[in-house]
A and B are shown apart, each in its own frame.
Chain A
Amino acid sequence: MASAELRQIRRRISSVNSTKKITRAMELIAASRIVKAQQRVKQSIPYAEKLTEVIRNVARASGGVAHPLLERRDVKTVGMLVISSDRGLAGAYNANVIRMAEAAMIEHGREDRELKLFLVGKKGQTYFRFRGYHIERAFLGVTDAPSYGDARAVANTLLEAFATGEVDAVEAYYTRYVSALNQQATRYRLLPVEPPGVEGAEEEAATVAYTYEPSPGEILDRILPRYVEAAIFGMLLESSASEHASRQRAMKAATDNATELVKILTRVANQARQAEITTEISEIVGGAEALAEARGE
């Protein structure tokens, strides 16, 4: 009959083992998702690059472009887009990006700027709501596998807020996917749009005399919102890849810890069992001796 101690240890071992099964499954799922998410990041790059190139060419060709989306205003209200995840168990993924955003919010507060919060992901929503921040809008259910439509929805909201003067600038906080082992919370200035690389350095590429269909102004009208959409789409994809990578690492650590814990607990259980057997044997021997003594009397 196993002692209470031994029984308790055995119960813990089986509980740790079932936890391990779960973390192991989550690790494998995350690992398979990273590959897909990475591919999507890679596939979205040609569009973003070409778009940047086109904007650069148009900006250069039409010389000193003026457009509402490029206009720098005195910043009284800052729109903040914070991209977190819907689900937890991803290590420090959400904490890092949220902490960075909150630090910036405090900084803006010091400079007497008003804030408007736009959030992607439930974790950010929960965090900021709990701390009593007013949330302008939260987008949920997009971080697992973001589509371009999701990015467009976010972009439309921000572009409208910027156009109506509700916000004078928009900063985005997301997690950049550097590599499978390295993801970094990053700040990106989304609005006003900074025309990509119109630096004088590469001026040798003489201005191109384009034929426009329709006018350059109308082309810019169409292309700049696309640029914002593509930027947001890129950030969503990178954040998603980062989320899966973080989760995979966190779950791998949890699985390893569980393995280690089972090993230690098994040793403790063996020791307890051994002690029990020893006790039983000495009881039997003691009993036998007592009997022999009684008989040989």
Chain B
Amino acid sequence: MAKTFHVDVVSPEATVWSGEATFVVARTVEGEIGILADHEPTMAALATGAVIIESDGDRTLIGVHGGFLQILDNQVTLLTDRAQISEGGRDVAARIAAELQELEEAEEELEAEG
């Protein structure tokens, strides 16, 4: 069995996902990053896209927009601006992420007008 590490996906309003995982894929502003246990300490800015969390054959897909990724001592923390678990495949998660981004842009426009 592959070595596991702890993953927290939090958004300002709630904890979206929390648990042990064996493999995580996320998108940072500089490109895709794959994370296994004992990854070096990393601090990255997240981009809009799908995050994949694999744990014991289970696969969780989350649409994420913006935020940060911290890897430290086998603790992976995704501090997202917005995140939503996807029920579908990877492309669905990516679409959710894109929608979250649109939502934020729309809110900002509203704010600018108000």
Q: Which A positions have Cβ atoms within 8 angstroms of B?
A: 40, 43-44, 46-47, 50-51, 53-54, 57-58, 61, 147-149, 151-153, 156, 208-214, 216, 218-219, 222-223, 226, 229-230, 233
Contacts and interface: CB of A to CB of B under 8 A. Distances in A.
A230 B79 CA distance: 11
Given A208-B41, A213-B30, A149 B107 contact: yes
A156 B111 CA distance: 10
A173 B43 CA distance: 33
B13 interface: yes
Contact of B43 (A51, A149, A152, A219): A219
Interface residues of B, number: 26
Contacts of A153: 111
Given A50-B77, A211-B40, A211-B43, A233 B8 contact: no
A90 B67 CA distance: 37
Interface string B1-27: 000000010111111000000000000
Given A208-B72, A213-B29, A222-B68, A50 B8 contact: yes
Interface of B: 8, 10-15, 28-30, 33, 40-45, 67-68, 70, 72, 77, 79, 81, 107, 111
Contacts of A50: 8, 10, 70, 77, 79
B41 A54 contact: no
Contacts of B29: 213-214
A212 B12 contact: no
Given A54-B70, A57-B72, A233 B42 contact: no
Nearest to B42: A211
Given A50-B79, A149-B107, A222-B68, A233 B12 contact: yes
B106 to A, nearest CB: 10
A211 B67 CA distance: 16
A245 B70 CA distance: 37
A39 to B, nearest CB: 9
Contact of B12 (A47, A61, A209, A223): A47
B12 to A, nearest CB: 4
A47 B78 CA distance: 9
Contacts of B33: 213
Given A152-B107, A218-B45, A219-B45, 8 more contacts: A47-B12, A50-B10, A54-B79, A58-B43, A152-B111, A212-B42, A212-B43, A233-B12
A133 B53 CA distance: 53
Nearest to B67: A226
B83 to A, nearest CB: 10
B13 A43 contact: yes
Nearest to A148: B12
Nearest to A62: B43
B78 to A, nearest CB: 9
A38 to B, nearest CB: 14
11 contacts: A44-B14, A47-B10, A47-B13, A53-B70, A58-B43, A208-B41, A210-B42, A213-B43, A219-B43, A219-B45, A223-B68
A148 B108 CA distance: 12
Contact of B8 (A46, A61, A216, A223): A46
